[in-house]
Amino acid sequence: MESIGEKLKTAREQAGFNLDQIARDTNISKHFLQALEDEDFSSFAGETYIIGFLRTYAEYLGLSPEELITLYRNFKIQEQPIPLNELLDKGEKKPVGLLIAVIAVVVAGLGVGGYFLGPRLAAGISEARAARAERRKDSLSGTVYEMKDEIMERRFAAGDTVSVILNNTKYSISLTDVSDKLTISAPLGTMGINLGDEVLIDLDGDKKDDIKLLVRDIDVTGTEKAVVIRLDRFTLSSKTAVAATLSAQEETSELYKTEAPAAAEGTAPAAAAGSLGAATLPSRKVNTLSLLESPQIKPISVDIIFRGYCLLRYVSDSAVREERYFHKGETFRLDASKEVRIWISNAGSLKAKISGVDVELGRPGEVATRLIAWQKNEETGSFTLNVVPVY
């Protein structure tokens, strides 16, 4: 029977994935992915981590999570040692009288030893407790790291602090505790962050996010509790870069919108059958998606669940353009009569459902622009709801 590691590795290689790519997509450390394939379960802090990572990895590869978890549990049962003492003869019993006499001698010895050595042992215990308290105090004070660049990723210990300079003012993010999750203390409060989650932090209280923090790995197996985190600083330049890319695609969309022929009365706008504009790189080329067909135009609904930080700009039925930053876990709904145009800073950070149909709008980190519109089929006279890429 194929083992857990063989199933994972075979499925990954058949799909053409590498561990670095999967680590980025699943937020599971490459070290743990390799450990699952090698069946090196000693690398994990506990069974909860093993089952959680195994489930996520299996779902990513299209395997059955329950089947792999069952294989893992069977593997653990086989590893447990056989209780030989239960299988062997216990031998003849020792005389009860002799056993009682031995116990009496031991108890008497302990009583005498405790009388003379008790104070000395108590003093030693007190000294040990004081030393442990001092070490704990030192570990809580930790090391202060200054964030000098827009991105900082490294291993931190519990008690470490990240110092951030913002508008000539120094702010601190303290890593107060590392357990099954990371607990941080920031200027506006304390929060707990689970493995693989990301949070946005407002340092100066201006209701604008300054830092994005992602927990990549948690290690509580050794004497020092540690965590690997990535911090992204939202500087003016980084925000401007995203906005500039979206604006360039938006201008292209508006250009083609202006030059498109006027639609007949009662029909949808005449969007191109293929894409709007042209992709200079083959890897950027995206095909038009046809979602629905109807004898008449119906209202369009766009429901979005955000899985990460994202800037979204949108226009519905040629109305005023709007834009908004969304955080992980937020939802958004947009309704239109004939068409919707959207510009997305991170297409892989959201899950979209357009008029009831699940649609993938792009890859993680991809800046994407899409036109969602009803288009008339001149041959049949019916209308098709299409998602058209705009370059």
Element (H, E) at 186: strand 181-186
pLDDT value of position 368:
85
| Of the listed ranges 72-86, 133-147, 369-383, the one predicted with least confidence | 133-147
Q: Give the pairing type, strands 322-326 and 310-316.
A: antiparallel
Domain ranges within the chain, ordered by starting residue: 4-79, 95-138, 142-234, 238-389
| Of the listed ranges 25-29, 110-114, 163-167, the one predicted with least confidence | 110-114
Query: Residue 39's Cα: distance from chain center in Å?
Result: 23
Quick one: what percent of the chain has pLDDT higher than 90?
A: 24
Residue 194 has pLDDT above 50, yes or no: yes
Mean pLDDT of 72-76: 85
Q: Which of 234, 277, 286 is nearest to 255 (CA)?
A: 277
pLDDT value of position 150:
84
Separation of alpha carbons 318 and 271, rounded Å: 13
Q: Please check whether residue 228 is in contact with residue 29, taking contact to mean a CB–CB distance below 8 angstroms.
A: yes
Q: Please check whether residue 300 is in contact with residue 337, taking contact to mean a CB–CB distance below 8 angstroms.
A: yes
Residues 218-271 pLDDT 10s? 888 767 788 999 998 876 545 554 555 455 555 544 444 433 334 434 444 444
Residues 133-185 pLDDT 10s? 555 444 445 799 999 888 898 989 999 999 999 888 999 999 999 998 999 99
pLDDT value of position 268:
40
pLDDT value of position 218:
87
Q: Which of 14, 67, 57, 2 is nearest to 34 (CA)?
A: 57
| Of the listed ranges 73-87, 106-120, 145-159, 214-228, the one predicted with least confidence | 106-120
Q: How confident is the model at residue 273 (pLDDT cuts 50, 70, 90)?
A: very low
CATH number for the domain running over 4-79: 1.10.260.40
Residue 62, Ramachandran bin (φ over 0: left; ψ between -120 and 50: alpha; else beta): left
Residue 65 has pLDDT above 50, yes or no: yes
Separation of alpha carbons 7 and 70, rounded Å: 13
Residue 93 has pLDDT above 50, yes or no: yes
Mean pLDDT of 298-327: 87
Q: What is the pTM of this model?
A: 0.35
Residue 27 has pLDDT above 50, yes or no: yes
pLDDT value of position 280:
43
Separation of alpha carbons 347 and 307, rounded Å: 10
Phi and psi at residue 211, to the nearest 5°: -135, 135
| Of the listed ranges 215-224, 296-305, 339-348, 356-365, the one predicted with least confidence | 215-224
pLDDT value of position 129:
57
Separation of alpha carbons 372 and 245, rounded Å: 20
Q: Please check whether residue 63 is in contact with residue 48, taking contact to mean a CB–CB distance below 8 angstroms.
A: no
Residues 117-135 pLDDT 10s? 556 555 555 565 555 555 5
Q: Please check whether residue 147 is in contact with residue 233, taking contact to mean a CB–CB distance below 8 angstroms.
A: yes
- Average pLDDT, rounded, for the chain: 78
Phi and psi at residue 341, to the nearest 5°: -115, 130
